[in-house]
Amino acid sequence: MLDLKLEDIDGILVRYNVALEKEMTPDEAAEELYPKDELIYPIAKSIYEGEEDDVVDGLKAAIAAGKNPIDLINDALMVGMGVVSQLYDDGIIFLPNVMMSADAMLNGIEFCKTQTTEVPEPKGKVVCHVAEGDVHDIGKNIVAALLRAAGYDVVDLGRDVPVDEVIETVVKEKPMLLTGTALMTTTMYAFKEINDKLLEKGIKMPFACGGGAVNQDFVSQYDLGVYGEEASDAVKIADFINANGTEIEKLREEFHKH
Amino acid sequence: MVQKYTSMAYAKADDMLFGNAKFPVKAGLGLEIGAGYATPELNYAPRPQAGKSKDKLVKEYERITTDAMARMVQIGAPSVVLETEHVEQMSNNPDWGAAVAHAQKTIMEEYHDEYGIKCALRHTIGDIREDRDYLQLRGDKYNTFMEAFEQCAQNGADLLSVESMGGKEVFDYSILRNDTAGILFGIGVLGSMDMEMVWSDIAAIAKKNGVVAAGDTDCAQANTAMFIAGGLLDKNLAHTIAIVARAISAARSLCAYEAGATGPGKDCGYENTIIKSISGVPIAQEGKTSTCAHSDLMGNLTMQCCDLWSNESVEYHGEFGGTTVQCWVESLAYDCSMMNTSLKLGKAKDLRDILALSDKYRDPQGYVLAYDNAYRVGEAIAKDGSDNYLRAKNAAVECCNIVEEGIASGKLRLTRFETNALAKVKADLEALTDDSNKFMSDCLTRFKEEVAVFRPENYGL
């Protein structure tokens, strides 16, 4: 096989990610972000490390020291997950780390719930689904995990969800946001049907859509559509709604990048 | 009858070349794939609203077929393959798929009769074997699934393919958690077991109907990893993990040919160069001409040993230069013209190397799939070819070795994140047993507990 000389490669391609990699390791960056409270620190660190058992051990110690289990959700678990989210947004850690941290955090929340009769207050409710006829759900699973990790209550309808079931759930659950994902061009047409049926019922709410074949042009064709290019956009859209309201035009200005 | 590969089809990597397969395949109307020339393979998707009824769908595919065939004769292309990847309606209702195949083939026959253009129709049946909550690989839908192959074969499809989904439930869970054993179990063990069953049946249908059992792709798993890994700056999955998943997928997708398929393998099977090195079957590939569907980091490299050159998929609609199918099939045809010219001039190996080298050092995925390294992965698979688990593990280990050598050479430059991820995968692999039964038993116990949607009965377990 012919080959290139080492010195010739840079003229053909550039590894921008190597050139721009940050000096600080992910562990060092996380260390700078952990809360200093000696009861909270080990919980936040265990969230970052995705160690479910250690999270529960940390929670037990904090509760034994007098911390309120419900307060620990916001003050320890969400703070730890906040460290993870920030490192992910900054490009320091990758998605599998976030998923493992999310698993650990959700496990921690369930543990906290068993320690009290109080009910934690979510940041809002989001209904997630994969379009009717479409069984490709890894994208939706990422969306749901990231939303839960960010403190949202997720009603996960799963995959291949009939249009009417989506409408019924929205009517019943009254979410702040509906998300839909699809891989195929023919299944994503269901999004338009959902849009039309919601409007028929007088429901005007953001409907965030994304996935393989879905693009901004298609989503812009129906009134409630907001295009999410990345799974992590779902959290940003939900946060944006909490801060700025549900006006579709504003959401499109923020999230329609093309 | 499944007959496992335990040796290589080619004596050395340098013997592999585009447009040439050790075992060419005759298909359709005068076409021979891998018999000394490369052929464009166009893939397309109907517009969203076309799936509303059978009539609308058939008409959409008639438009697509006519547009593509017309453009091929307008530019003087000698051959073309059209690939119809079923939308779910066409596989869930086999008569829909059959109607589309019949309509397309009728048009292709007219063009073949009038102009002599060599052509064939591939139908890729959708893997519909699941319900809302679970894979249902051996359940009620299996009969419908096979009926879809049968009816397409009877109504004009020359090449039968599928992107089978076995193992995906464990893989999806594992890839998002850097779980090496789960990736290996999902693709290399469960995926292989399912493929052996599915492809034995597809091969029988193809034989009965005088058509070609073409091949599969690990789209559901290795392409998911590649897609999540994304570009150089994306932060969703280490590319070193994505290429390990890809190497494992070669051991898995090879099962189609062991169960009676003869090629050409599916375009999005980026593992196909490895498979060609072991089996000698012709392969379809996609790269720079599939940017209409997705981005990858090896747009030229994948052309290195292809027999069909594909665009992956494009939605049918208008562009300045015609409809999308016309624009993309024309691009494919000119690439094939370039490859075929180099073959006639005796310069094909130089072109192959230029294509490979232009991407080889861009990313670990291209580095391992460059034909010289792909051949080494092939050897690792063939070494323990009779054992689905061991050969998949061998492929993963050899993949790690190849990337490490690339880093050591200074030519393959990776971030610390990627080298750390590679070190973790390699350590995980080294810690795994060489005993297939023990691995199966350990994984069954673990994933039954961890993956709520994993149903061992899908695999006869």
Q: Does the beta-carbon distance from A93 to B235 stay under 8 Å?
A: yes
**The token pair that represents B14 in the structure block:** 């340098």
Mean pLDDT of the A124-136 span: 93
Range of the domain at B277: 13-459
Do A34 and A151 share a domain, yes or no? no
* Per-residue pLDDT at A167: 98
User: Could you tell me if residue B1 is inside a domain?
Assistant: no
| Residues of chain B by 3-state class (helix, strand, coil), percent to 5 | 55, 15, 30
Do the chains contact at A100 and B177, CB–CB below 8 Å? yes
Between CA A95 and CA B228 the distance in angstroms is 9
- Name beta bridge partners: A130: A181
The answer to whether the CB of B39 falls within 8 A of the CB of B80 is yes
B210 inside 8 A of chain A by CB: no
Domain contains A119: no
Quick one: A161 and A74 in the same domain?
Answer: no
Q: Look at residue B7 and tell me if it is in a domain.
A: no
Tally of domains within chain A: 2
For chain B, what is the domain count?
Answer: 1
In a domain, A18, yes or no: no
The Cα of B301 is separated from the nearest Cα of chain A by a number of Å equal to 13
How close are the terminal C-alpha atoms of chain A, in Å?
A: 42
Residues A138 and A242 in one domain: yes
- Phi-psi region at B263: left, alpha or beta (left = phi > 0; alpha = psi -120 to 50): left
Q: Please enumerate in sequence order all residues whose Cβ is within 8 A of that of B202, keeping only pairs 6 or more positions apart, or say none.
A: B146, B149, B160, B162, B213, B259, B260, B261
Contacts of B235 in chain A (CB under 8 A): 88, 91, 93-95
Same domain, A174 and A205: yes
The answer to whether B319 contacts chain A (CB < 8 Å) is no
In chain A, which residue's Cα lies nearest the Cα of B12? A1
| Cβ atoms A225, A195 nearer than 8 A | yes
For residue A137, which residues of chain B lie inside 8 Å, CB to CB? 172
H or E element in which residue A98 lies: helix A95-114
Q: Which amino acid is at B377?
A: V
For position A71, what pLDDT does the model report? 93
Q: How sure is the predictor about A212, in pLDDT bands with cuts at 50, 70 and 90?
A: confident
Q: Which one of A85, A114, A143 terminates a domain?
A: A114
- Asked, for residue B4, whether it belongs to a domain, the answer is no
Maximum C-alpha span of chain B: 62
| B120 residue type, one letter | A
Q: Cα(B167)–Cα(B461) distance, rounded to whole angstroms?
A: 13
Find chain B residues with C-beta within 8 A of A3's C-beta.
357
Interface of A with B (CB under 8 A): 1-4, 6, 9, 12-13, 15-18, 20-21, 25-26, 88, 91, 93-96, 99-100, 103, 133-135, 137-138, 141-142, 158-161, 184-189, 192, 213, 218
Stated as kind and residue range, the H or E segment containing B84 is: strand B79-85
The answer to whether B164 and B194 have CB atoms below 8 angstroms apart is yes
Per the listing, tokens 């996935």 go with A211
Q: Are residues A158 and A227 in the same domain?
A: yes
Asked whether residue B2 is domain-assigned, the answer is no
Indicate if A161 and A230 belong to the same structural domain.
Answer: yes
Contact B445, B153 (CB under 8 A): no
* A233 inside domain: yes
What's the DSSP call for residue B167? Answer: T
In this structure, the answer to whether residues A93 and A131 fall within a common structural domain is: no
* Domain final residue pick, A68, A95, A114: A114
**Region for A25 from its dihedrals, namely left if φ exceeds 0, alpha if ψ lies in -120 to 50, beta otherwise:** beta
User: Which B residues, 353 through 382, put their C-beta within 8 Å of a C-beta on chain A?
Assistant: 353-354, 356-362, 370-372
The secondary element (H helix, E strand) that includes residue B32 is strand B31-35
Q: Do A78 and A184 lie in a common domain?
A: no
The CATH number of the domain holding residue A33 is 1.10.1240.10
Residue A128 CA to residue A175 CA, distance in Å, equals 10
CB pair distance less than 8 Å for A96 and B350:
no
Which of residues A65, A81, A114 is at a domain's end? A114
In whole angstroms, what separates CA B111 from the centre of its chain?
A: 28
At B49 the pLDDT is 85
Which string of DSSP letters, residue by residue, matches B233-291?
T--SS-HHHHHHHHHHHHHHHTHHHHTT--SPBPTT-TTHHHHHHHH---BEEESGGGT
Decide if B8 is inside a domain.
no
Run of H or E residues at B31:
strand B31-35
Q: Do the domain assignments include residue B156?
A: yes
CB-neighbour burial class of residue A65 (10 A; exposed 0-12, middle 13-18, buried 19+): exposed
A138:B224 CB<8 A: yes
Q: A89 pLDDT band (50/70/90 cuts)? A: confident
Angle between helices A138-149 and A95-114 (to 10 degrees): 50
Read off the tokens for B306: 């292809």
Token pair for B182: 């789960």
What's the pLDDT tens digit per position in B400-454? 999 999 999 999 999 998 999 999 999 999 999 999 999 999 999 999 999 999 9
Tokens for B11?
A: 């004596």
Query: Nearest CA to CA, how far is A89 from chain B (Å)?
Result: 9
Determine, yes or no, domain membership for B5.
no
Helical (H) or strand (E) element with A31:
helix A26-33
Residue with the larger pLDDT of the pair A189 and B257: B257
Give CA–CA dist A147/A239, Å, rounded.
Answer: 10
Q: Do A6 and B411 touch (CB under 8 A)?
A: yes
Res A90: pLDDT: 86
Which residue ranges in chain B fall short of pLDDT 50? Answer: none
The arithmetic mean of pLDDT across residues A23-44, rounded, is 94
In a domain, B123, yes or no: yes
- Chain A residues lying within 8 Å of B360, measured CB to CB: 4
Nearest Cα residue to A211 out of A182, A189, A236, A188: A182
pLDDT in the model for residue B1: 80
Report the alpha-carbon distance of residue B263 to residue B124 in Å, rounded. 13
Q: Cα–Cα distance between B127 and B123 in angstroms, integer?
A: 12
Separation in Å, CA of A200 to nearest CA in chain B: 20
Two structure tokens written together for B153: 């074969």
**Contacts of B73 by beta carbon, 8 Å cutoff, 6+ apart:** B111, B115, B117
DSSP state of B459: G
Shared-domain flag, residues A41 and A81: yes
A237 located within any domain: yes
* A131 and A227 share one domain: yes
Strand, coil or helix: A214: coil
- Residues A68 and A40 grouped into a single domain: yes
Q: Is the peptide bond before A26 cis (omega within 30 degrees of 0)?
A: no
- With 0-12 / 13-18 / 19 or more C-beta atoms within 10 angstroms meaning exposed / middle / buried, residue B36 is middle
Assign residue A233 the CATH number of its domain. 3.40.50.280
Which of the four pLDDT bands, split at 50, 70 and 90, describes residue A23?
confident
Helix (H) or strand (E) holding B241: helix B239-253
What contacts B411, CB < 8 A, 6 or more positions away? A4, A6, A9, B361
C-beta of residue B272 within 8 angstroms of C-beta of residue B285? yes
Contact between B377 and B250 (Cβ < 8 Å)? yes
> In which domain, by residue range, is A53 found?
23-114
The span from the CA of B160 to the CA of B391, in Å, is 26
Per-chain mean pLDDT for chain A? 94
Say whether both A106 and A168 belong to one domain.
Answer: no
| Residue A2 domain-assigned (yes or no) | no
